[in-house]
Amino acid sequence: MTTQAPAVPMESISSLARIARDLDLLKFDALFTTAALLRGGRPTHTKGVAVTGSFEVTSLPTYPKNTFFTPGRTFDIVLRHGNVAYDDDAAMDIRGAALRLVAREGEGDHKPERPIHLATPAMDLLMNTGEVSFSSAKVFLDFARASGGTPGHEGPVDVRALEAYFKPRPVIRRQFEIGLRRAPSSFTRLRYHSQIPLRFHGGDGKERYARFRLVPGDGAPEEGFPSASDLATPWLQDRHVGETRDFQYMRDEMKARAHAHATYALEMQVYEPAGQVDVAMLDPGRAWDEEALPFHAVGRITLDKALHPKRTEDLAYNIGHLPAAFSLVPCRTLSDFGSIGFVRAHVYTVTQRVRRVMRKMKRLGELGRQKKKRHFRSKKHFTKDDKRRDSSLVGLIFGHVWRG
């Protein structure tokens, strides 16, 4: 998919501060580009399942009028579920839900003849299990380095390095634990939270902020909460001994759920400052009090079918794909509360360029192998060509990324 990179709001900062922030962004570029290359695709949520359907805005009695969520409006949707780090659905991991709303014909760029997975997004909502995330991009970078650990460790997480990282950081450890779910029966039995507050621009011009969550349409209770023994060692995330279900049982089950027209409800929580904004309310690592700021229904999602795996791989979500009614909270440094959204919008754009080049290289390789078979080339010559092509892969990818 070729989509223009979303604009990321930035506070007015000095040239030196901007240079420092850009240097920190290069660390994220290196980390996530390397992860994408090693995993052969998305650096996180690598294995997933996508389904299509529709979303209808039901009613917004407690929310201000806005230009996007208007009662009765209907969108096409693409919803992708995946696990953050582990390919094994039975592992203890954070689960994700990436929801794309696509305007229907006459309301946007989506045309009936254009495949839904390539349609221009009206809004992307990236949600995970757990009400909170880390408070800043700086914290997330330190965590990602620790979980990645040293080269040669087994599995997607370096268990010893992550244990050592959490030991002096109980607050960060708890923020991580809140999103973990072990071996739930279905993606549709979980609750997903946007976690990062967004600016909400109503028609009356008042300052507001919003968070979203996606819940089962039938109101079923959430599953998969870790046991006390799991939480005693949250760095041990592999499936339990004796677990017999397939590594992708949830992904397979989700396809069946889609064809059975499973439903979700999208809900929104709104913070309207009485006076000056309480900056602590913008912290992604802090949940809002649901008694003071309850969630209210925005609309209902009805699924209809599973998306083909190749089309699923082509999906390119970005937290910066937002309508005029919402925007990311700006940031000055990568220690600010708004930095998580800022960095994710940037990193997703960079790694999607990497993924596009990798897919092109893969397709070229497939065409080359077909051509070699037709010309009855020898295995020795084929292997030599493969090595030559693979040796140039990294150079091509980084060249493409930095050219934009």
Three-state secondary structure readout of 244-270: CCCCCHHHHHHHHHHHCCCEEEEEEEE
- The structure tokens listed for 282 are 């913008």
- The structure tokens listed for 160 are 């010893």
Per DSSP bridges, beta strands 48-57 and 296-306 are antiparallel
pLDDT (tens digit per residue) in 98-111: 999 999 876 654 45
pLDDT of residue 12: 57
Residue 307 within a domain: yes
pLDDT of residue 2: 41
pLDDT of residue 108: 52
Q: Would you call 342 exposed, middle or buried from its count of C-beta atoms within 10 A (0-12, 13-18, 19+)?
A: buried
Model pTM score: 0.83
- The structure tokens listed for 182 are 């072990």
Angle of the 137-148 helix axis to the 170-177 helix axis, nearest 10: 80
Q: What is the mean pLDDT of residues 33-39?
A: 72
Residue 192 has, within 13 A of its CA and on its CB side, a CA count of: 26
Coil, strand or helix at 221: coil
Residue 167 within a domain: yes
d(CA 243, CA 370): 41
Residue 16 within a domain: no
Q: Which residue has the higher pLDDT, 154 or 98?
A: 98
Residue whose token pair is 């087994």: 154
H helix runs in 193-338, sequence order: 228-232, 249-259, 309-314
Q: What is the mean pLDDT of residues 29-34?
A: 77
- The structure tokens listed for 107 are 């309301």
Which residues are 264's β-sheet partners? 216, 301
Residue 224 within a domain: yes
Q: Residue 25 is inside which H or E element, if any? A: helix 15-39
Q: How confident is the model at residue 161 (pLDDT cuts 50, 70, 90)?
A: very high
Residue 112 within a domain: yes
Cα angle for residues 315, 316, 318 (degrees, 5° grid): 140
Q: What is the mean pLDDT of residues 199-227?
A: 95
Residue pair 36/355 in contact (Cβ under 8 Å)? The answer is yes
Per DSSP bridges, beta strands 198-201 and 263-271 are unpaired
Q: How confident is the model at residue 6 (pLDDT cuts 50, 70, 90)?
A: low
Q: Would you call 142 exposed, middle or buried from its count of C-beta atoms within 10 A (0-12, 13-18, 19+)?
A: middle
Q: How confident is the model at residue 155 (pLDDT cuts 50, 70, 90)?
A: confident
For the cut 90, the answer to whether the pLDDT of residue 235 exceeds it is yes
Residue 132 within a domain: yes
For the cut 60, the answer to whether the pLDDT of residue 36 exceeds it is yes
pLDDT (tens digit per residue) in 283-319: 999 999 999 999 999 999 999 999 999 898 888 899 9
Residue 145 within a domain: yes
Q: What is the mean pLDDT of residues 368-376?
A: 61
In this structure, what DSSP letter does residue 160 have? H
- Residues of the chain with pLDDT > 90, as a percent, come to 58
Total tally of structural domains belonging to the chain: 1
pLDDT (tens digit per residue) in 237-260: 999 999 999 999 999 999 999 999
pLDDT of residue 16: 65
- Residues of the chain with pLDDT > 70, as a percent, come to 79
CA distances from 207 to 64, 70, 280, 335, 341 (A): 11, 19, 15, 23, 19
Q: How confident is the model at residue 212 (pLDDT cuts 50, 70, 90)?
A: very high
For the cut 50, the answer to whether the pLDDT of residue 266 exceeds it is yes
Q: Name the residue range of residue 188's domain.
A: 24-355
Here the CATH number for the domain that contains residue 350 is 2.40.180.10
Residue 382 within a domain: no
For the cut 60, the answer to whether the pLDDT of residue 79 exceeds it is yes
For the cut 60, the answer to whether the pLDDT of residue 404 exceeds it is no
Q: What is the mean pLDDT of residues 352-363?
A: 74
